[in-house]
């Protein structure tokens, strides 16, 4: 069976690592970005040099028509999507009383509405063939909450509820839905916190280091194929023991 994956937010960070891992495991990969088209094109060239098959698609995941059209184009050009990885996400640190309705809505639009729209876009084919895998990216903050990141943590908790509920609904149709909840990962988003905060987070992680995008990519790749054929509705916390 042809293996084609659509990975949202795959121009850099965790998404790029997921795309690399999947490509090296034989997946055709639809790379997705919003503003980082140049980075996505560079990644596509890298994967193609390694013999991978991929293409880049641009869309705002918070725009239902745009992300649906991007997925439809990917299916026309690369083949039916059998794996969806909902990785695109945004975060913002600020006191709860300073969060504006606009910020709240934008975070939920990207982090929750985006996966909702993307799932609905890929499901027609998956339901037709009664096979497919969806992997959502949440966060440890969606499990335990985070001071000064209420909107982000609440949105990532919603992703977990989406995962578990959709898994129950789709299991009889042969479609698995799982979730990876990364801990503190050394990405641009985390580096913005500053070296002092990063050092503190490193000390709080029992394994003694921050995670890498490749750590998360391995977890996603596990959920992606038949190695996890009997697993659905699960949240894999990849955090180095941060919330033991």
- Write the DSSP string, 18-64: HHHHHHHTT-EEEEEESS-HHHHHHHHHHHHHTT--EEEEE--TT-H
Q: Compute the half-sphere exposure of residue 74: CA atoms within 13 Å on the CB side of its CA.
A: 33
CA 223 to chain centre: 12
Question: How many CB atoms neighbour CB 55 within 10 A?
Answer: 16
Strand ranges of the sheet holding 28-33, from the earlier edge strand across to the other edge: 54-58, 28-33, 4-7, 83-86, 132-137, 175-182, 235-238
Distance CA 47, CA 191 (A): 26
Find out whether 19 and 55 touch, Cβ atoms under 8 Å.
Answer: no
Distance CA 188, CA 113 (A): 23
Distance CA 180, CA 139 (A): 7
Q: What are phi and psi of 16, to 5 degrees?
A: -65, -40
Distance CA 56, CA 38 (A): 10
Residues classed as catalytic = 152
């Amino acid at each position: 069976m042809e293996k084609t994956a659509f990975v949202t937010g795959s121009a850099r960070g965790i998404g790029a690592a997921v795309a690399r891992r999947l490509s090296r495991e034989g997946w055709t990969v639809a790379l997705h970005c919003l503003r980082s088209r140049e980075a996505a094109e560079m990644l596509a060239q890298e994967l193609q040099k390694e013999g991978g098959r991929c293409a880049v698609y641009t869309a705002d995941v918070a725009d239902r028509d745009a992300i649906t059209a991007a997925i439809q184009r990917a299916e026309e050009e690369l083949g039916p999507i059998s794996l969806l990885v909902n990785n695109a996400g945004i975060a913002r640190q600020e006191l709860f009383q300073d969060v504006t309705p606009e910020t709240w809505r934008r975070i939920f639009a990207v982090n929750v509405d985006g996966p909702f729209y993307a799932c609905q876009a890929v499901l027609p084919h998956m339901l037709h063939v009664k096979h497919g895998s969806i992997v959502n990216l949440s966060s440890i903050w969606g499990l335990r909450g985070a001071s000064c990141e209420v909107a982000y943590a609440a949105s990532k908790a919603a992703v977990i509820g989406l995962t578990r509920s959709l898994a129950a609904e789709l299991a009889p149709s042969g479609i698995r839905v799982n979730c990876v909840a990364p801990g503190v990962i050394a990405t641009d988003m985390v580096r913005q916190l500053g070296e002092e905060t990063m050092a503190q987070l490193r000390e709080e992680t029992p394994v003694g280091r921050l995670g890498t995008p490749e750590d998360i990519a391995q977890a996603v790749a596990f959920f992606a194929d038949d190695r996890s054929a009997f697993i659905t509705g699960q949240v894999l916390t990849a955090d180095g023991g941060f919330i033991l």
